[in-house]
Structure 1
């Protein structure tokens, strides 16, 4: 259990001996030291398994150890020797387990048997797979299709994801929310309007050709550490890296590569960021507006003296639409407003813009620091505007690079897990499988929560994840969840969502990606898509955690056979026996993306999906790349008018991946022993009259009549801009109203939550 937090500024680089010690510690905690050899041999390697943690790209020529600290933790967590058996549940009621911390629940180990909640004893009892499938099928057949939600986390492979979306559509709905709704759905809305694709344009090879990198709202050291290998190589070519992030994160400051013996022995780090700026949370539009304003001024000057222009006017004329209106908006925006909103000076923004202006090939990296705001779509489109001004999309070494989170969250969308019918080839599915797919858009994550709160959604199928911890509005959702008729959770470990029992609740234990998936035709291969749209094969290498586990495709097929009428065109059992046949189906339904799928499966580095914008072909409404006008300089719900209201950013720690908590040490931020902390600017703390190291309560500033607060939080003076707070996700999710989401994408606005802070 956690205790009081200890804070001491972390001065050591990312990586190095700190990472090595962390890996040893976590492997011993999970009694998984024997899997360390497999990490070197198999992790993210051709013929091995793909990491279940982040979705960063895998190189065609992998490093000796093609894994990071967080990826190794995820593997040790998956391959733990600990087990959560029926005997465990016989010893603990659900009410008791609800009092356990997130870490303790998952640290109990792998689930080993299918289970059903028994209200009379308040315990989970073992059940056979046959009984579970039959009862789930009976209950699903009793519901109207529109009343059932089919949720997917980003962990399921392409094969399982394809089968899952087909199950939902054969059942009769497009209610297919997924974890993308909570992170990069904003990207999927913003980029198609701007450049005609819902994904980034950068491939791994572009990092070897770039001569400048811009990064916005992305913490590389915690969220995608393997990217540090590419950034280190970029810096060794003296390429500048310009970072905008409210917190100074060690991953962007210094890195020691554990695979470089010289660096390890001398403790000599590589400096990653060459320029580091800390804007106030929610002010990225103002930052980019300032850079654009500087570029225009310098371009005017170049034109007046007849020197080389700063903007790429030929590209703008041939490939873009809307530049005149955008230019007018930039010229009309005053520097004073930009400085006030961003918290950065004109001189600082001009320094950043100058570095950008000197470069010929620029990659723009971003994460959820852009997407999770009220104007998240505007954030992303403003970054595209900045690239379009200088023709930095559609050429080697340049482009837009959203860094996705979970290992296959992007790939799930590629094979049809989407609530938006326009994104899915329904006519092709109808012809192939002999049914009439539903044509009405389904629910995204926020809409699914709204339907559960309203009582109109009656059943929830969860393909992985910890839904109730990941979403906003915890207290209301947990109360209402208990009224659901059915909750089915496909899982590897116990989490809080499993303990908030619906009227009928099942836990169905599944294999992890690193385990051998033995089916009728032998060990199976699965596949996933990384952040750069490259598709990779994955082969499990380890013995399964128990004899009663089923693979995700097997579980999906079991539910489908029990809930749906037989369809000779959908041979579930044959597909489960040979996943290559599922890949053949994916190729037939999505031929452009998956040409020769099985034949190209083991391509070193993966094979990329074709993205038109990489070749300056713009699949937009205008046939060109579009400059889009931002609605405001601040992307937050907070208008900045009340000094008692601060903007809260929710963050992951170094000992965490999404809602999975590996421990209580956030080594890279120097915070140890507790997750119940708030990072605050010292001047804000003094202004608000709160004692250093004291305890506080955060209260939502939303004025909707609903009380939302999180108490027991220890204050830590931190290097963070005035008016901005930082605290951990998911502990502070209860502060986010369900209606505070990004316009158009409905991604929860977790990176600038308006709150007040009170001493306790």
Structure 2
């Protein structure tokens, strides 16, 4: 089955983010999922203090919420989850898995909520119902027969803190540290870089910083599709006169202009808020060069003000080394005119940092011509950004996966920290670093122990509390799990949510390896690709969604979620479960653990009956982070996870914040030379969330009816001999012995820097070699891949996927 065929349309969209386009989209999704009558009531409690946390993005619930505290994408996620559609017994009776393998991703999920626990039957090639007790018993028996090194426990990021704590405990008591998770694929570069730079595992910003800042540097994150509720904070900041300086590859509507759908005056008048005061389109992979340019301008202007002789303003003879340095002198003069005595915060640098001189010398040594070539920005643009930064007192650094999902993702994050440290913009109100996570609670699951790195988990405390010896060996990250699956070294894969096969690189090779698994267990709400491609034994275990009422022995239960900015919130389900056969995630984890481990000191049944007891256990394990957990669960605005860096206490080897200097500006590719090379980035449409495809519309980019799109600069289209609308095959330009290709992508002219191109995720994932990742974080480089185009000979039938 494929979605109803339609002719793709490419037409410019002139509207803002939000506005009537957003309102129309919300109405359409509630009608499509048959929730038009109960949808508005549910949405009125979304992200409210006593309501449920959105199941899509990870933005915080404010203490004083808006009347409607949801965005277009959040409404889609809710409608998608509480749909009246059902993938029930009759559906699986009708469709064998070899047929479902031919379906599009959208169509699999569009069948609706899973209703019964299922086991794959090899005789009929169908999922057939199985009793919960029988499923737990067989899965436990199979796991007991395997070496724990052969078993991977994956988490997608949407599970609650309570479930995540139970899940990591189950895995460790079983004897495995193989806990790959979706964070490995998105912000692992932050999880590696931030501790090295400032001694914090997450960003230091809190929600109140948006009310106290006077400047925001917004870097490589598309707020309009990835976290639209953040637009309220940006709009409020702009209304107070805050400047937003944006560095982003593409022109994104949410970073340009916004009409608040909750403002009657804006909706009626169409009055738009201009979001970015300065907008710099950085070339793909040029982020380090762009940030180095800003830092260079700051440092050299500071040198000029100090008369240190170290700047490039003048040589030994007092004459300018570079006739263009008149711009630097003018920049320095403008700082003085703004009543600023210096550009850098020398007191902060001296007291709180190490490595400044090495970093400053590197910045001085980079030539403007090289920085311009790699970044795609002009010297005057980088200097203008520096001027805005220098004249601001409290600057926030907000960034997203456009920085982290690169070959130099860790160093990209180091550079963000370096820029913040130059003027002491960490550890003070209105400043700080905000790493915008993608998935709700993807950050929180790490906080309670989901990690393959034993040094990041409180193993001694777990041993003390539960009377077992945790494994001390380093487990597998997502990339390493993929390698193990391809080599046949992973024999079992337990998945707590997600669509692993669609989220990871090297799609074809991964599917081949997936079929060789001995056991796959999928805890899920809806059907996806990772369920219909299967190994020898496959189970599909349907769970309650976060939005649904979770009735246990002690009554309705609440769960907890950590936002991008480390605010921890309570969440209560509000709607009737999709099926009486569903179990909660904690109940499923407990069932698997008991069947696998036998008798333990863990009170699994008591925990399932009362989630407050799980929170008590979390507090005992992490007493500083979760002090008075149950008492503070529904604190308006959430309670803030403590981070020493917010108080300028640096938990690093040096005891200070570290300036860390990248060794180069741009990664080296093995065979990426040639005028025909374009650098590809993957993108989301505004009709998807991660691997979930709600539909085939990308309103902001003017695409309707298809996702097989390649966005290319108009001059590159002409230069490479193509025309608007041509169908092209896209091939990787690395690893010449194992080329990867996607076919029949339609070229669309777009405002993207020359030499760059963009395609939707996950349709472009087959292009990415598994080895194409940051060497330290192992985060796949989904935002930077050299590719070549060739005219396609494949005939496209213009279905929504092509």
* TM-score, normalised by the number of residues in structure 1: 0.99
1:477-534 superposed Cα distances (whole Å, 9 cap, x missing partner): 1011111100000010000010111100000000100100011111111000001101
Kindly indicate whether residue 535 of structure 2 is the aligned counterpart of residue 502 of structure 1.
Answer: yes
Kindly indicate whether residue 729 of structure 2 is the aligned counterpart of residue 733 of structure 1.
Answer: no
Structure 1 residues 236-385: aligned runs within 5 Å: 236-304=239-307, 308-385=341-418
Please name the residue that 1:170 is paired with: 173
Structure 1 residues 295-694: aligned runs within 5 Å: 295-304=298-307, 308-567=341-600, 569-635=601-667, 637=669, 641-694=673-726
Alpha-carbon distance in structure 2 between the residues aligned to 1:707 and 1:286 = 29
Alpha-carbon distance in structure 2 between the residues aligned to 1:426 and 1:720 = 48
Q: What is the CA distance between 1:130 and its match in structure 2?
A: 1.1
1:712-757 superposed Cα distances (whole Å, 9 cap, x missing partner): 2101011100111100000100000000001200000000111111
Q: Spell out structure 1 runs of 4+ moving beyond 6 A.
A: none
Q: What is the CA distance between 1:565 and its match in structure 2?
A: 2.3
Alpha-carbon distance in structure 1 between the residues aligned to 2:587 and 2:737 = 46
Describe the SS at the equivalent of 2:434: strand
Describe the SS at the equivalent of 1:42: coil
Describe the SS at the equivalent of 1:528: strand
Q: Contact 1:161 / 1:412 at 8 angstroms: preserved in 2?
A: yes
Describe the SS at the equivalent of 1:741: coil
Alpha-carbon distance in structure 2 between the residues aligned to 1:645 and 1:432 = 56
Alpha-carbon distance in structure 1 between the residues aligned to 2:264 and 2:40 = 19
Please name the residue that 2:51 is paired with: 48
Please name the residue that 1:160 is paired with: 163
Change over 3 Å in CA distance of 1:116–1:219 after alignment to 2: same
Describe the SS at the equivalent of 1:599: helix
1:268-319 superposed Cα distances (whole Å, 9 cap, x missing partner): 1100001111111110000001001111121122223997110001100000
Q: What is the CA distance between 1:637 and its match in structure 2?
A: 4.3
Alpha-carbon distance in structure 2 between the residues aligned to 1:354 and 1:32 = 51
Kindly indicate whether residue 702 of structure 2 is the aligned counterpart of residue 699 of structure 1.
Answer: no
Instruction: Report how many residues are paired.
Output: 759
Q: Contact 1:180 / 1:409 at 8 angstroms: preserved in 2?
A: yes
Alpha-carbon distance in structure 1 between the residues aligned to 2:53 and 2:669 = 38
Kindly indicate whether residue 782 of structure 2 is the aligned counterpart of residue 719 of structure 1.
Answer: no
Please name the residue that 2:325 is paired with: none
Q: Contact 1:174 / 1:440 at 8 angstroms: preserved in 2?
A: yes
Q: What is the CA distance between 1:671 and its match in structure 2?
A: 1.0
Change over 3 Å in CA distance of 1:636–1:101 after alignment to 2: farther
Describe the SS at the equivalent of 2:632: coil
Alpha-carbon distance in structure 2 between the residues aligned to 1:227 and 1:166 = 34
Describe the SS at the equivalent of 2:758: strand
1:153-177 superposed Cα distances (whole Å, 9 cap, x missing partner): 1100000000000000000011111
Please name the residue that 1:36 is paired with: 39
Alpha-carbon distance in structure 2 between the residues aligned to 1:475 and 1:749 = 18
Q: Contact 1:694 / 1:715 at 8 angstroms: preserved in 2?
A: yes
Alpha-carbon distance in structure 2 between the residues aligned to 1:195 and 1:563 = 41
1:25-79 superposed Cα distances (whole Å, 9 cap, x missing partner): 0000000113333344310111111110100111100000001000010000000
Structure 1 residues 133-144: aligned runs within 5 Å: 133-144=136-147
Please name the residue that 1:24 is paired with: 27
Describe the SS at the equivalent of 2:266: helix
Describe the SS at the equivalent of 2:173: helix
Alpha-carbon distance in structure 2 between the residues aligned to 1:333 and 1:365 = 25
Range that drifts further, 743-752 or 700-709: 700-709
Range that drifts further, 307-316 or 149-158: 307-316
Alpha-carbon distance in structure 2 between the residues aligned to 1:29 and 1:3 = 17
Describe the SS at the equivalent of 2:771: coil
1:82-131 superposed Cα distances (whole Å, 9 cap, x missing partner): 00001001111111111111111100100000111112211111111111
Change over 3 Å in CA distance of 1:637–1:363 after alignment to 2: farther
Q: Contact 2:224 / 2:253 at 8 angstroms: preserved in 1?
A: yes
Alpha-carbon distance in structure 1 between the residues aligned to 2:777 and 2:497 = 22
Describe the SS at the equivalent of 2:631: coil
Range that drifts further, 350-359 or 2-11: 2-11
Please name the residue that 2:329 is paired with: none
Alpha-carbon distance in structure 2 between the residues aligned to 1:4 and 1:441 = 50
Alpha-carbon distance in structure 1 between the residues aligned to 2:645 and 2:342 = 24
Q: Contact 2:671 / 2:735 at 8 angstroms: preserved in 1?
A: no
Alpha-carbon distance in structure 1 between the residues aligned to 2:215 and 2:33 = 41
Please name the residue that 1:130 is paired with: 133
Alpha-carbon distance in structure 2 between the residues aligned to 1:63 and 1:635 = 44
Alpha-carbon distance in structure 2 between the residues aligned to 1:226 and 1:635 = 34
Q: Contact 2:106 / 2:694 at 8 angstroms: preserved in 1?
A: yes
Alpha-carbon distance in structure 2 between the residues aligned to 1:234 and 1:39 = 29
Alpha-carbon distance in structure 2 between the residues aligned to 1:5 and 1:280 = 29
Q: Contact 1:376 / 1:635 at 8 angstroms: preserved in 2?
A: no
Kindly indicate whether residue 252 of structure 2 is the aligned counterpart of residue 220 of structure 1.
Answer: no
Q: Contact 2:251 / 2:281 at 8 angstroms: preserved in 1?
A: yes
Q: Which runs of 5+ in 1 are unaligned?
A: none
Alpha-carbon distance in structure 2 between the residues aligned to 1:636 and 1:107 = 42
Kindly indicate whether residue 194 of structure 2 is the aligned counterpart of residue 191 of structure 1.
Answer: yes
Describe the SS at the equivalent of 1:650: strand
1:223-282 superposed Cα distances (whole Å, 9 cap, x missing partner): 000000000000001111010111000000110001110000000110000111111111
